[in-house]
Amino acid sequence: MTTTPSAARTVGVGLISVGWMGKLHSRAYQALPSVYPELGIRPRLVHAADTAEDRADHARDVLGYERASTDYRAVLDDPAVDVVSICAPNVLHHEIGIAAAKAGKPFWIEKPVGRSAEETAEVAAAARTAGVVTSIGYNYRHAPAVERARELIAAGKLGRVTNVRATFFSGYAAEPNAALSWRFKRDLAGHGALADLMSHVVDLVSYVVAPIGEVSALTSTVHTERPVLPMGSGTHFAVIEDGEMAAVENDDYAAALVRFGGGAVGTLEASRTIVGPQCGIGFEIYGTDGSVTWNFERMNELRVALDRSGPHQGYTTVLGNSHLGDYAHFQPGPGNSMGYDDLKVIEAKKFLAAVAGIEHRNSTIEDAHAVAEVISAAAASATSGAWEKAAPAPGATFGRPAGS
Ligand SMILES: NC(=O)c1ccc[n+]([C@@H]2O[C@H](COP(=O)([O-])OP(=O)(O)OC[C@H]3O[C@@H](n4cnc5c(N)ncnc54)[C@H](O)[C@@H]3O)[C@@H](O)[C@H]2O)c1
């Protein structure tokens, strides 16, 4: 990290993998100085790598990285790279996360951080040993409406939280000929909807309500074969007619009954093959004195009920405004919609502010470990048919003061 004459800190950014998320992380770094000028942080896009040469070239020629490589190690070895974004498929998170920690580079890594709780725990241990700052791609927790829901609960405005319903209903694989990308293969992705989508849900409710202690789950696979898609070509949204078919090796749907620390209970569901909802991640949180509901498909709306039986009983819809989360950094007036990319800008800011020691509001690899243990317990429960406890992940705080 270097300091320029204008006192702005320049942070050299490395990027590993230039797929959907790699491009999005890049846009987030580019937007950061104008959205958060007061931080005085200027990301400099230094070095990107992707095994697909055309994607590495895209990073240099279009996204604006100074150098491009086809081997991620070149990014970690580059002395001008201060921090690294790891946007590779799940199979590589373990190897690259540990390598980044050993190289002493703070890293912002995409969820679910590996294919299993064991892999996530090992990345967490490496980061802890190296003492590097981490951040995870749990973008939904940064939505201003979600931040407000969390504040209302922490302030006791809902009374005692009793029950929670949360879902991630995505239609990205609803089409039976949607491509068999790496996401559908156990050795490349680990679990299916459970890892890809339920990990977001578990983080979201752990952040807003409380960590989850115990689960009873089931999973199912809706479409058992799909057309093959080579790595680095197209996305998992691609539809291939008359392609070579191969087996789907993991779950399309997962459901779990959960018990939260603190006594609340709930139901969580995730599907990647649902028809209707498209990016339907959301929650309904009920307490003895009130409730809140939110869904990403209407990201800018928080529905709040705080009056049990008086004249204002029932829901009030609150639109984005300057009292909610980081909204004021994006829009001066209320009711102007924010979008998905903006959540990644907030995530980039929380990451780089933590790296600079300005504030520590980032999600961490310890949180990812706690989420992975819940997913692992859900997978075990889907096999055993019994309630399973999530193994402890001691460093996880989900943004609360340690020990609270
Ligand atoms: N936070 C979110 O909302 C969100 C959304 C989508 C994906 N993700 C996560 O982001 C990660 C990447 O997903 P994506 O949709 O961007 O994938 P993608 O398929 O669009 O891109 C993956 C890229 O990795 C590259 N790659 C493969 N092997 C590589 C290697 N050895 N070294 C360097 N690059 C390599 C591929 O060529 C490809 O360009 C996954 O872990 C996924 O779960 C998170």
What's phi and psi for 309, nearest 5 deg? -145, 5
Are residue 74 and residue 182 in the same domain, yes or no?
Answer: no
- Domain residues for the domain of 57 are 2-139
Q: Say what the pLDDT of residue 241 is.
A: 86
Residue 395 placed within a domain? no
Are residue 160 and residue 102 in the same domain, yes or no?
Answer: no
- CB 19 less than 6 A from any atom of ligand 1: yes
Residue 361 placed within a domain? yes
CA distance 383 to 170: 24
Are residue 158 and residue 246 in the same domain, yes or no?
Answer: yes
Best residue among 23, 26, 50 to mutate for probing ligand 1's pocket (most ligand atoms within 8 Å of CB) is 50
Q: How many Å separate Cα 132 from the centre of its chain? A: 19
Per-residue burial over 128-138, b if 16 or more Cβ lie within 10 Å, else e, is bebebbbbbbb
Are residue 205 and residue 250 in the same domain, yes or no?
Answer: yes
CA distance 363 to 202: 13
Distances (CA, A) of 40 to 35, 37, 235: 11, 6, 35
CA distance 74 to 398: 33
Which of 139, 166, 193 is a domain's end point? 139
Residue 402 placed within a domain? no
Q: Say what the pLDDT of residue 235 is.
A: 74
| Other Cβ atoms closer than 10 A to 241 | 6
Residue 403 placed within a domain? no
Residue 383: which CATH number? 3.30.360.10
Q: Give residues with Cβ within 8 angstroms of 402, minimum separation 6.
A: none
Are residue 111 and residue 27 in the same domain, yes or no?
Answer: yes
Task: Provide the domain count of the chain.
Answer: 2
Are residue 177 and residue 271 in the same domain, yes or no?
Answer: yes
User: Separation of 20 CA from ligand 1 center, angstroms?
Assistant: 7
Which of 139, 164, 190 is a domain's end point? 139
- CB 137 less than 6 A from any atom of ligand 1: yes
Are residue 231 and residue 90 in the same domain, yes or no?
Answer: no
Residue 193 placed within a domain? yes
- CB 196 less than 6 A from any atom of ligand 1: yes
Are residue 236 and residue 270 in the same domain, yes or no?
Answer: yes
Are residue 130 and residue 165 in the same domain, yes or no?
Answer: no
Q: Taking the CA of residue 59 as centre, how many other CA atoms within 13 Å lie in the half-sphere pointing to its CB?
A: 32
Residue 396 placed within a domain? no
Which of 139, 161, 184 is a domain's end point? 139
Are residue 228 and residue 324 in the same domain, yes or no?
Answer: yes
pLDDT per residue as tens, the chain (404 positions): 655 545 689 999 999 999 999 999 999 999 999 999 999 999 999 999 999 999 999 999 999 999 999 999 999 999 999 999 999 999 999 999 999 999 999 999 999 999 999 999 999 999 999 999 999 999 999 999 999 999 999 999 999 999 999 999 999 999 999 999 999 999 999 999 999 999 999 999 999 999 999 999 999 999 999 999 877 777 778 898 888 999 999 999 999 999 999 999 999 999 999 999 999 999 999 999 999 999 999 999 999 999 999 999 999 999 999 999 999 999 999 999 999 999 999 999 999 999 999 999 999 999 999 999 999 999 999 999 999 999 999 899 999 987 66
Locate tokens 């279009």: which residue?
62
Residue 224 placed within a domain? yes
Are residue 60 and residue 170 in the same domain, yes or no?
Answer: no
Q: Please name which of 9, 93, 73 lies closest in space to residue 44, comparing C-alpha atoms.
A: 9
Locate tokens 């580059």: which residue?
78
Residue 52: which CATH number? 3.40.50.720
- CB 15 less than 6 A from any atom of ligand 1: no
- CB 90 less than 6 A from any atom of ligand 1: yes
Provide the 3-class DSSP secondary structure of residue 49. Answer: strand
The residue contributing the CA closest to ligand 1 atom 31 is 51
CA distance 151 to 158: 10
Instruction: List the structure tokens of 263.
Output: 């006594």
Q: How many Å separate Cα 172 from the centre of its chain? A: 17
**What is the torsion angle, in degrees rounded to the nearest 10, for the CA atoms of residue 188, residue 173, residue 298 and residue 197?**
-30
**Is residue 25 within 8 Å of residue 88, measured between CB atoms?**
no
| Other Cβ atoms closer than 10 A to 154 | 13
Are residue 100 and residue 226 in the same domain, yes or no?
Answer: no
